[in-house]
Structure 1
Amino acid sequence: MQAVKTSLTRLLGIRVPVICGAMAGGSSARLVVEVARGGGFGVIGGAFIPPEKLREELAFVRDSFPDLGQKPLPIGVGFIAWLLDTKEEAAKQLIDVVVESNVEALWFAFGNDVYRWVQYARTSPAGASSTRKPLIFVQVTSVQEALLAAKEWKADVIVAQGNDAGGHGGASTPSTFTLVSEILAALPGDNAPPVLAAGGIANGTQVAAYLTLGAAGAVLGTRFLLTPESLYSDAQKAALLAANSGSTLRTLALDYARGTYGWPKGIDGRGIRNKIVDDIEAGIPHETVREKLAKGKQEGDANYMVTWSGTGVGLMHEIKPAKDVMAELHTDIVRQLQRSQSLLQH
């Protein structure tokens, strides 16, 4: 299958313009390795990983590519900026681990001072002897954020995350299609960084649609949770397979049940609606719901577990290895782009 050429694939040296998104509790080292082997690019969700555990994960990635030599690890690591703010010294250790491990990219999202961590990544003492700085991905939920990240922060890649996305994002953000369209219109010219579409994307046909819109690639999350390599439990995967596009909602209830308070204003999460949401909306104390969540996780009870999911989940019907998912996406992207070309033939 022929490679797809975009500014993203050229920047990263990959064959398929598909990114496995940074998903805390979802994207593992095993997962991103298989995505890379399939021609794409994967990002470990580093939000809740201690520095030593992250070092182990990155060592696993290095061991998985014994022929790399001095080349960077062909993956990224993602961080939630407001969580970095809560533990400054531990946060710096995490970023230092990524930089000294010579990882291709760092991905930052959700914070009131994201640029602080972008700067630290670029000036980390762990990279003092290196001639190469990691690429910087910045996830945005508005045109204003995209302009700031691209023009002032000089981000290498802009991740445009629409309201369709699973996990955390902007509560009032427009759809992915609308947001990507607006950002592409606001960032014209050859010097603009690659813009990636993120949110609600389930298959290669949709990825091809975003490529024809002008995006340089697409970020998929939920689709990669339905792989043996993801960190999701069997019960969470079963909940995804049973869901459709109407099964998800945007809410902070799932965070209240987990005890993860502190998200910046305007940020909430999209996941599968279940009894957690019902309980929170009914006014049951958060502590009580938290106890039910802990019990539900132990018993594999889908009614009391947090399962993040995008709106595209209704198009996902099976669990398959990440490398096979990449092959399927690649094939569908190429075929759909070829079909699009036929529309112009006489």
Structure 2
Amino acid sequence: MQAVKTTLTRLLGIRVPVVCGAMAGGTNVRLAVEVTQGGGFGFVGAAFIPPEKLREDLSFVRDSFPDLGQKPLPIGIGFIGWLLDTKEEAAKQLIDVVVESNVQALWLAFGNDLYRWIEYARTTSAGTSSTRRPLIFVQVTSVEEALLAANEWKADVIVAQGNESGGHGGASTPSTFTLVSEILAALPGDNAPPVLAAGGMANGTQVASYLTLGAAGAVLGTRFLLTPESPYSDVQKKTLLAAKSGSTTRTLALDYARGTYGWPKGIDGRGIRNKIVDDIDSGIPHEIVREKLTKGTQDGDADYMVTWSGTGVGLMHEIKPAKDVMAELHTDIVRQLQRSQTLLQD
């Protein structure tokens, strides 16, 4: 299957313009490696990984690509900005590990001062004089954030996350199609960073539609949760397989149950609606729901587990290895792009 060439694939040296989102709790280095080896680019959501564990994980990545030499590790590491703010010294250690390990990309999202961490990644004394600094991916939920990231922060890649996206995002963000269109219109010219569409996608046909819109690639999240490599539990995966697009909801209830209250203003999460949401909405104290969540997670009770999911989940019907997912996405993208060319034939 022929490679798809965009500004993203050229920047990363990949064949397929598909990125596995940096999902904390839903990704690990095994999944990231498989996505990259399948032709795309894998990220690890490392928001809750201690520095030494991250260093150990990145050694696994290095061993998985024995022919790299001095080239960067072909995966990315993602962090949540407001969590970095709450543990400054540990945050600096984490970013130092990323730089020292010569990781190719760093993804940042959901912070009130993300530029602080971008600047730290670019200026830290970690590593050696020959160490390459990671490419900076910035996740945005508005045109204003995209302009700031591109023009002032000089981000290497903009991830435009629409409302359909699973996990955390903008509560009032428009659809992915609308947001990507607006950002592309606001960032004209050859010097603009690649813009990736993120939110609600399940297959390569949808990815191809965003490529024809002008995006340089797409980020898929929920689709990669339905792989053997994802650390999501069997119960969570079964919940996703049984879900429809209408099974998801945007809410802060899942965070209240987990005790994560620090999200920036305007951010909430999309996940499978269950009894956690019902309990919070009915006024049951957060502490009681938290106890139910703890027990539900231990017992494998899907009604009291947090399962993040995008709206595209209704198009996902099986669990398959990440490399097979990548092969399927690649095939569908190429076929859809070829099919679209027939629209111009006489």
Same-fold status (TM-score > 0.5): yes
Identify the residue that residue 184 of structure 1 maps to in structure 2: 184
Secondary structure, in 3 states, of the residue corresponding to 1:107? Answer: strand
Identify the residue that residue 233 of structure 2 maps to in structure 1: 233
The answer to whether residue 296 in structure 2 is matched with residue 296 in structure 1 is: yes
Secondary structure, in 3 states, of the residue corresponding to 2:189? Answer: coil
- Per the TM alignment, residue 73 of structure 1 is displaced from its structure 2 partner at its CA by 0.3
Identify the residue that residue 81 of structure 2 maps to in structure 1: 81
Identify the residue that residue 139 of structure 2 maps to in structure 1: 139
Structure 2 Cα separation of the partners of residues 126 and 228 of structure 1: 34
Determine if contact 1:110/1:264 at 8 Å carries over to the other structure. yes
The answer to whether residue 277 in structure 2 is matched with residue 277 in structure 1 is: yes
Structure 2 Cα separation of the partners of residues 136 and 269 of structure 1: 23
Determine if contact 1:4/1:17 at 8 Å carries over to the other structure. yes
Aligned amino acid, residue 287 of structure 1: E
Identify the residue that residue 70 of structure 2 maps to in structure 1: 70
Determine if contact 2:204/2:330 at 8 Å carries over to the other structure. yes
Identify the residue that residue 205 of structure 1 maps to in structure 2: 205
Structure 2 Cα separation of the partners of residues 57 and 203 of structure 1: 29
Instruction: Summarize deviations over 1:122-181 as a string: whole Å, max 9, x none.
Output: 011113523521100000000000000000000000000000000000000000000000
Determine if contact 1:204/1:330 at 8 Å carries over to the other structure. yes
The answer to whether residue 300 in structure 2 is matched with residue 268 in structure 1 is: no
Identify the residue that residue 194 of structure 2 maps to in structure 1: 194
Structure 1 Cα separation of the partners of residues 97 and 72 of structure 2: 13
Structure 1 Cα separation of the partners of residues 132 and 237 of structure 2: 39
Instruction: Summarize deviations over 1:170-216 as a string: whole Å, max 9, x none.
Output: 00000000000000000001000000000001000000000000000
Determine if contact 2:115/2:153 at 8 Å carries over to the other structure. yes
Identify the residue that residue 14 of structure 2 maps to in structure 1: 14
Determine if contact 2:72/2:132 at 8 Å carries over to the other structure. no
Identify the residue that residue 250 of structure 1 maps to in structure 2: 250
Structure 1 Cα separation of the partners of residues 159 and 263 of structure 2: 19
Structure 2 Cα separation of the partners of residues 127 and 265 of structure 1: 35
- Could you list the runs of 5+ residues in structure 2 that have no partner in the other structure? none
Tell me the matched-pair count.
Answer: 346
Aligned amino acid, residue 330 of structure 1: H
Structure 2 Cα separation of the partners of residues 52 and 130 of structure 1: 23
Structure 2 Cα separation of the partners of residues 56 and 212 of structure 1: 40
Aligned amino acid, residue 78 of structure 2: G
Give the superposed CA RMSD.
0.6
The answer to whether residue 224 in structure 2 is matched with residue 224 in structure 1 is: yes
> Structure 1 runs of 4+ off > 4 angstroms?
none
The answer to whether residue 121 in structure 2 is matched with residue 121 in structure 1 is: yes
Determine if contact 2:82/2:263 at 8 Å carries over to the other structure. yes
Identify the residue that residue 27 of structure 2 maps to in structure 1: 27
Aligned amino acid, residue 240 of structure 1: L
The answer to whether residue 3 in structure 2 is matched with residue 3 in structure 1 is: yes
The answer to whether residue 174 in structure 2 is matched with residue 174 in structure 1 is: yes
Structure 2 Cα separation of the partners of residues 207 and 124 of structure 1: 36
The answer to whether residue 335 in structure 2 is matched with residue 320 in structure 1 is: no
Aligned amino acid, residue 42 of structure 1: G
Structure 2 Cα separation of the partners of residues 306 and 91 of structure 1: 25
Aligned amino acid, residue 324 of structure 1: D
Structure 2 Cα separation of the partners of residues 14 and 51 of structure 1: 28
Determine if contact 2:102/2:131 at 8 Å carries over to the other structure. no
Secondary structure, in 3 states, of the residue corresponding to 1:77? Answer: strand
- Per the TM alignment, residue 332 of structure 1 is displaced from its structure 2 partner at its CA by 0.1
- Could you list the runs of 5+ residues in structure 1 that have no partner in the other structure? none
Secondary structure, in 3 states, of the residue corresponding to 1:42? Answer: strand
Structure 1 Cα separation of the partners of residues 293 and 125 of structure 2: 41
Percent identity (aligned):
87
TM-score, with length taken from structure 2: 0.99
Identify the residue that residue 158 of structure 1 maps to in structure 2: 158
Aligned amino acid, residue 202 of structure 1: A
Determine if contact 2:19/2:218 at 8 Å carries over to the other structure. yes
Determine if contact 2:99/2:131 at 8 Å carries over to the other structure. no
Structure 2 Cα separation of the partners of residues 283 and 130 of structure 1: 56
Identify the residue that residue 335 of structure 2 maps to in structure 1: 335
Secondary structure, in 3 states, of the residue corresponding to 2:249? Answer: strand
Secondary structure, in 3 states, of the residue corresponding to 2:107? Answer: strand
Structure 2 Cα separation of the partners of residues 157 and 127 of structure 1: 23
